[in-house]
Amino acid sequence: MSDIPGGKRVLLIVGGGVAAYKALELTRLLRKAGIGVRQILTKAGAEFVTPLSLAALSEDKVYDDLFSLTDEAEMGHIQLSRSADLVVVAPATADLIAKAANGLAGDLASTTLLATDKPVLMAPAMNVRMWLHPAVQRNVATLKADGVSFVGPDEGAMACGEFGPGRLAEPPEIFEAIVTMLRGPAARPLAGRHALVTAGPTFEAIDPVRGITNRSSGRQGYAIAEALARLGARVTLVSGPVALPTPPGVTRVDVESARQMLAACEAALPAEVGVFVAAVADWRVDEVFGSKLKKDKGGPPALTFVENPDILATLAASGPDRPKLVVGFAAETDDVEAHARAKLARKGCDWIIANDVTEPGVMGGTENAVLLIAKDHTERWERASKDAVAQAIAQRIAEALT
C-alpha cells in the first residue's frame, strides 16, 4: 500500500490462545507493507507459537522476559514501550485486557502496556461467554475511555466448539486497522462529525408473545457504524433487537418498535449523516392484545393493521435538523435498480444502497452485493463481506462530506 507512511514500526504483543497463530500472518502482512515489527511473546502465547517462527517473519528479536539481564540493563521494557509508533495486542486475551484496564504490571507484556506513551490497538480473542461477561465488558469500556482502540472480535465458530462473538479478527482486518492508525489524523476524515445509523429489524407486538418482524441480522448496519467510527465519526447506533455486540467507539440505543426507533433517531439529531439500514416493519396491529391469543373453534383472529411511521422519509424531509447526507437502504427481491430508484425519489434521500435479498448468504448472512444509487448515477459493487461493503460505504460518505 503506497500510502502507508514510511519508516513506521509496530510493537506486537502476542497473547495466549489458539488464535495466536494468526499473529504469524499479521506479521507477514506488516513486513510485506514495509512496516517494522518487534514482538513480545507472552508465556501463554509461547504455548501456541514459537519465538523462532515470529523472529523469522519479523526479522527482529522476540522479547519474552521482564527480568532479562541484557535487556533490563537499559530498562528494556521502557525502550520497547516507546520504540514503536503503535502497540498492537493480538490476540488480546481476557487476562491481558484485565491487566491493562487495572494497571497491573507483573510481566513484560503488561509492564510495557503500562509504560507506553504510544497509541494502543487491541484485537480481542476469547470464548464467547468470556467476551460477554460483565467483567470483561467493564474492562473493555475502561480501556476505550482511556483511548485504547479495538478491532473485532468477530462472530463465528470457535476452537472450543461454541459460536458467537469472540473470534480474533482476521489478519487483513487487523492490518487495515493498524494502517489506519499509523496514517494518523488523515485517516480520520470524519473526526468531529456526528453519524446516525439504524440497524436490525423492528418488532411490532401483537400480544405479549407474538409480533411482526423480519430476518434482518443487523450485521450490515453494525459494520457501517463501526466503519464510520474508525474514520473518526461520533456514531449513534439505533438498534432493533439483535444478538450483536456494540461496535467499538459507538454509542448504542436499543429500541424495539418502529415508533421507538423514530423517536430515538429524532432525539439523536442533529447529525451530518444519517444511514438508515434498519429493516423497519411497514405495518403494526392497531391494537396490541393484553394477553396471549388462544386458538378456538372460530379460527384465527382478525387483525387490523395500520402503517408505521416512515423513518427514512421523515428524517429526509427538509428541515433544520435534516442530515447533510441521508442514505437509505432497499432490500429487494426483483427489479432491484428500478425499485430502488423509485424509492430514492419517493423518500427524498440522497443515496439508496440496494441489494437483492434473494441472493444466498445476504439476508441474515455475512456477505452482500449492492448498488449505490444517487440522483445522477448508479454504481454496482462486487459481492464482498459486509465488513468490506461497510468500509467502502464509510469511505464514500467521508468523500461526500469532506
| CA distance to 140, 175, 235, 311, per residue, from 202 (Å) | 28, 35, 20, 12
**If you search the block for the grid coordinates 532479562, which residue do you land on?**
68
Asked if 271 and 317 count as a contact pair (C-beta separation under 8 A), the reply is no
DSSP 75: T
| Binding positions | 282, 292, 309-312, 329, 343, 347
**282-299: burial string, b at 16+ Cβ within 10 Å, e else:** eebbeeeeeeeeeeeeee
Residues 386 and 187: their CA atoms lie apart, in Å, by 21
Q: Which residues contact 360 (CB under 8 A, 6 or more apart)?
A: none
| Binding positions for CTP | 282, 292, 309-312, 329, 343, 347
Rounded to the nearest angstrom, the gap between the alpha carbon of residue 188 and the centroid of all alpha carbons in its chain is 16
Asked if 355 and 332 count as a contact pair (C-beta separation under 8 A), the reply is yes
Q: Which residues contact 252 (CB under 8 A, 6 or more apart)?
A: 237, 239, 246
Annotated catalytic residue, options 56, 157, 160, 209: 160
**If you search the block for the grid coordinates 391469543, which residue do you land on?**
293
Asked if 46 and 107 count as a contact pair (C-beta separation under 8 A), the reply is no
Residues 222 and 126: their CA atoms lie apart, in Å, by 21
265 part of the active site? no
Rounded to the nearest angstrom, the gap between the alpha carbon of residue 346 and the centroid of all alpha carbons in its chain is 31
> Of 134, 121, 208, 207, which is closest to residue 168 (Cα–Cα)?
121
Asked if 97 and 140 count as a contact pair (C-beta separation under 8 A), the reply is yes
The catalytic residue positions are 160
